[in-house]
Amino acid sequence: MDHFKELSGRSYDFKTTTISLSNQDISISYFNTLIDEKILQQQVIHAIQNRALDSELKKLEDLLTWISVDDIEITDKFQDIQSKVLKGYAAIHFNNNHIDKYVLVNMSTKKGMRETNDTENEFSVVGPKVGFVEDISTNIRLLRAQINIPNLIVKDFTIGTVSKTKVAIIYIEGVTNKQYIETVEQRLCDMDFDVVFDSSQLEQIISDNSKSPFPIFLSTERRDRVVYSLISGQVAITCEGSPYFVTGPSSIFDSFISPEDYYLPWVLGSFFRIIRILGVLFSLFASSMYLVLTTYHYEVIPMDLLGPLIFSRQDVPFPPVIEVLFLEVTIEFLREAGARLPTKISQTLGIVGGVILGQAAVEAGLTSNILIIITALSALASFTTPLFKMSNTIRFLRFPIIILSSLWGGIGMFIGITFILVHLTQLKSLGAPYTVPLFPLRMNDWGDSFIRSSYKNLNKRPGYLRSSSILRYVINTDKLKKDFTNE
């Protein structure tokens, strides 16, 4: 029990309150993010103090009648004590008594479990939809409800010379590599900032390369995604006033992983993940490929397609590069307008605006039908990635590739691809390679990158995280017995 208190005491939300009575000192240990502090004050602390004025507390069993809470018990089993405290119970003990008995009082709270914390930007059809809110204590309570072990350590810092914002570092002791924990702590302590509004600011400040358009860390509002990152050996960072968690070190493949992949059969999860990766590649290069073919390398266009392409562009007075940029900028205008307007108006604007503008542009001879189809598909494909920040990165990278393709054709397009690949291979997240397991090549980690393998092959944590504990769970290799046997 002393080891449990010492381990839990590393988290700022573990508290021990001492009540001094006339003949006895009582200690109450609990996680303040898991309990209802009003119940603790009114029905436990005040009840004990008021009752002690009339009668003497001789033995721990007397508390069963002193405290008016329905779910209360006394036990000396350590496993029960640890499990109950991690579920929102308070453990009451005599300080000067060598008997290892504890009174467990249920004071758990359900705050933040479904009413106002739905995920808004990372929606999924299958699986839980519990998201985080702007209260850091509620967010930690949600994590502790899912990761029910004392090894979940929560360290708090105060950052911001003006805002004095509480920032929490969360990790699992004995799983997460200590080097990553120390790196995050050092970068946060070295910060000199005035006001911290959101965890996204922390992500940029502690990033290994803040000039990169790619998200170096994984930013999410979903509880299940943060839980999966923690059990894999990553570090999570959040701050007061932000509903988002930042986890790292992450790789580029984390941006294409959806929680639904793990709630569906592994074949379907792998298929949808491949669709996302192909969709992002199509969104990134579709418009520039059209520009290259129609400007420099039209000889490679099949004859059956060349006729319709010439017919669709015969009334367009602009070169293909102006045509492409016009439609791409129009799509960005519609996106930004839809994001800033109320939900009902934005849906109408997206549908009506897209149809009307597209039809009017073709009739006015400003663009071709084929390019409208390509641009529309490219815009849809950019949203296949589950993370909004990676979607923004794809939207941005399309424009320099289009410009390079307009200048040098296919060579310019491949120059842009080369720059992206070289930049990606140089990126690091908390010192870990960003493109792992593709580069450096880690064949053992391919089971959860391009595809999602079955759970029989996912019992080990990713090798690039260098976790202190490699195994997540032990696979039962015993063969299933047949229901019918031939006798």
Mean per-residue pLDDT of the chain? 86
Task: Assign 3-state DSSP to the chain and report helix, strand, coil percentages, each to 5.
Answer: 50, 15, 35
Q: Which of 226-240, 281-295, 353-367 has the lowest mean pLDDT?
A: 353-367
Q: How far is residue 484's CA from residue 328's CA, in Å, rounded to a whole number? A: 63
- 302 or 224, which is more confident? 224
Q: What percent of the chain clears pLDDT 90, i.e. is strictly above it?
A: 30
**Per-residue pLDDT for 484 more than 80?**
no
- Which among 176-180, 327-331, 440-444, 477-481 has the top mean pLDDT? 176-180
Q: How far is residue 123's CA from residue 129's CA, in Å, rounded to a whole number? A: 7
- In Å, what is the CA distance from 238 to each residue of 39, 91, 140, 246, 288? 27, 28, 10, 6, 39
Per the CB < 8 A criterion, the answer to whether 322 and 365 are in contact is no
Phi, psi (rounded to 5 degrees) for 297: -125, 45
Q: How far is residue 311's CA from residue 420's CA, in Å, rounded to a whole number? A: 35
- Helices 266-295 + 320-340 axis angle, to 10: 140
**Per-residue pLDDT for 125 more than 70?**
yes
Q: How far is residue 43's CA from residue 274's CA, in Å, rounded to a whole number? A: 55
Q: How far is residue 410's CA from residue 115's CA, in Å, rounded to a whole number? A: 53
Q: Which of 23-27, 95-99, 335-339 has the lowest mean pLDDT?
A: 95-99
Q: How far is residue 134's CA from residue 117's CA, in Å, rounded to a whole number? A: 9
For residues 105-131, give the mean pLDDT. 73
Terminal C-alpha separation, the chain: 54
Q: Could you tell me the two tokens for 287?
A: 């418009």
Give the per-residue pLDDT at 351: 63
Q: How far is residue 401's CA from residue 411's CA, in Å, rounded to a whole number? A: 11
Q: How far is residue 215's CA from residue 320's CA, in Å, rounded to a whole number? A: 31
Of 260, 226, 259, give the one whose Cα is nearest residue 242: 226
Binned at pLDDT 50, 70 and 90, residue 69 comes out as confident
Q: Could you tell me the two tokens for 423?
A: 């930049």
For 338-395, write each residue's pLDDT tens digit.
Answer: 777 666 666 666 666 666 777 777 777 778 888 888 888 888 888 888 888 898 899 8
* DSSP 3-state of 172: strand
**Per-residue pLDDT for 426 more than 90?**
yes
Binned at pLDDT 50, 70 and 90, residue 124 comes out as confident
**Per-residue pLDDT for 216 more than 80?**
yes
- 352 or 42, which is more confident? 42
HEC sequence for 406-462 = HHHHHHHHHHHHHHHHHHHHHCEECCEECCCCCCCCCHHHCCECCCECCHHHCCECC
For residues 138-147, give the mean pLDDT. 91
Whole-model pTM?
0.86
**Per-residue pLDDT for 486 more than 60?**
no
**Per-residue pLDDT for 416 more than 90?**
yes
Q: Which of 35-44, 361-370, 467-476, 478-487 has the lowest mean pLDDT?
A: 478-487
**Per-residue pLDDT for 399 more than 90?**
yes
Give the per-residue pLDDT at 83: 86
- 156 or 67, which is more confident? 156
Q: Which neighbouring-strand residues pair with 92? A: 28, 103
Of 424, 428, 389, 386, give the one whose Cα is nearest residue 198: 389
**Per-residue pLDDT for 114 more than 60?**
no
Give the per-residue pLDDT at 487: 46
**Amino acid (1-letter code) at residue 95:** N
